[in-house]
Amino acid sequence: MSAPVLQLDKVCIRYPGAPADAVRGVSFDLRRGETLGLVGESGSGKSTLAAATMGLLPAGTAVQGAIRFEGRALFSEITDQQLRRLRGRRIGTISQDPFTALNPVMRIGTQLDALLHWTHDRPKKDRMARIETMLERVGLSDPKVRMAQYPHQMSGGILQRISIAAAMLAEPTLLIADEPTTALDATTEAQILGIMAEAKATLDGATLFITHDMSVVERLCDRIAVLYAGELVETGTVREVLDAPQHPYTRALLDCDPARITEPTRRLPTIEGTVPPIHKRPDGCIFAPRCPAAIARCHAEAPERHELGPRRSAACHLASPTPVTP
């Protein structure tokens, strides 16, 4: 079997001058054809992990453990310079804010052409045709008009379509989308998610989808990794985790998902308390101060990661494999 597209092995990340790690001991892998939803509240470490994978951590950040792209370790086997070349070519990114992803003083067509010229050395005529096709594929019916425009002439939703097209033009092996619909209204969000679903289906690679929204995960992802305060608390297939969550934090996230609340009058529940700051992690289980299921042991002893099946685990004292109903 070929190496996973992305593999994290006990990754710890500490920002320069920080009193503690922002990410602690995170391991998971992502294989060709898969979409992994990386989920957690803000401060859970998801954007830090994405930045690390893209080689975009601030200078002086300490990374321990291994992050491997197609079997080769970033920072040791892949140099910074090589990683810069991979980014945009083999690693595509879609950010929260499409305005920052595009150059404000260049026409869209010029930018996309420069990108395609850099990633795939094709004749100009072929490049233009490919850009037009890609813009149509992300739902823009007037590609020639869009190519002649500047970013400020478009809405956030149109720009996000263009940045998806830009990421897809390179035919990346790994596509990283960091909350790509956060800045958009609900209707535009639904359209963009539809485009993302099509985009990932045409990709000959894997997608890492960062979100705090469980219904987005359910719609777009095959696998899920739930982060809490910089630690991986649960992972598995979307069906395994959403149908039978084993970690109380995963259950709490699901309980707060508006899409899952069936009684219309019920107030939207929230998880009480906040994610602890990295330098004030509680003793024992990191989730214990907020956990409705906590027992005495939880406050004294941090849980091990319980292996519940192939590529399925939860870090909770109470986790147990779901019994198979005959």
Of the pair 113, 234, the CB lying nearest ligand SF4 is at: 234
- Of 264, 243, 259, nearest to 324 (Cα)? 243
Quick check: 8 and 206 in contact, CB under 8 A?
A: no
Coil vs helix vs strand at 316: coil
Contact flag: residue 293 with ligand SF4 (CB under 6 A) = yes
Range 239-258, binding ligand SF4 (CB under 6 A): 247-248
Applying CB under 6 A, which of residues 158, 288, 306, 313 lies at the interface with ligand SF4?
A: 288
User: Phi/psi of residue 108, each to 5°?
Assistant: -55, -45
- Please, which residues have CB within 8 angstroms of residue 91's CB and are 6 or more apart in sequence? 53, 54, 69, 172, 173, 174, 175, 176
Cβ-based nearer residue to ligand SF4, 51 or 302: 302
> CA–CA separation, 240 vs 321, rounded Å?
10
Q: Quick one: 92 or 303, whose CB is closer to ligand SF4?
A: 303
Query: Which two structure tokens, joined as six digits, stand for 112?
Result: 């996309």
| Residue 198 CA: distances (Å) to CA of 130, 163, 194 | 17, 15, 6
Identified binder of ligand SF4 from the candidate list 298, 308, 312, 313, rule CB under 6 A? 298
115 binds, among ligand SF4, Mg ion, none (CB under 5 to 8 A by kind): none
- Check residue 318 for interaction with ligand SF4 (CB under 6 A): yes
CB of 283 to ligand SF4, least distance (A): 11
Does the footprint of ligand SF4 cover residue 285 (CB under 6 A)? yes
Compute the distance between CA of residue 298 and CA of residue 173 in angstroms, rounded to an integer.
41
Pairing of strands 91-94, 174-178: parallel
Using the structure block, give the residue that is written with the tokens 């945009």. Answer: 88
Shortest distance, position 44 Cβ to Mg ion, whole Å = 8
Rounded to 5 degrees, what angle do the CA atoms 274, 178, 103 make?
130
Answer for which of 39, 112, 203, 291 binds ligand SF4 (CB under 6 A) is 291
Q: How many CA atoms lie within 13 A of 157 on its CB side?
A: 14
211 is a contact residue toward Mg ion (CB under 5 A)? no
> Which one, 119 or 322, has the nearer CB to ligand SF4?
322
> How many angstroms separate the Cα of 253 from the Cα of each of 99, 241, 256, 268, 269?
30, 12, 5, 12, 10
Of 47 and 160, nearer to Mg ion (C-beta) is: 47
Selected range binding Mg ion among 21-29, 44-52, 124-132, 223-231, rule: CB under 5 A: 44-52
Smallest separation (angstroms) from Mg ion to the CB of 210:
7
State which of positions 152-181 bind ligand SF4 (CB under 6 A): none
47 binds, options ligand SF4, Mg ion, none, Cβ within 5 to 8 A by partner type: Mg ion
CA dihedral (146, 150, 153, 159) in degrees, to 10, reads 70
The one segment of 116-124, 132-140, 177-185, 313-321 that binds ligand SF4 by CB under 6 A: 313-321
Position among 287, 308, 312, 313 found at the interface with ligand SF4 (CB under 6 A): 287
How far are the Cα atoms of 175, 183, 197, 217, 248 from residue 167, in angstroms, in the given order? 8, 18, 14, 20, 36
Written as six digits, the tokens of 126 are 């072929």
- Report if residue 47 touches Mg ion, rule: CB under 5 A: yes
Closest CB to ligand SF4 among residues 63, 254: 254
Q: Which stretch binds ligand SF4 (CB under 6 A): 34-42, 150-158, 169-177, 311-319?
A: 311-319
Q: Residues interacting with Mg ion, by CB under 5 A?
A: 47
Q: Residues interacting with ligand SF4, by CB under 6 A?
A: 247-248, 285, 287-288, 291, 293-294, 298, 303, 316-318
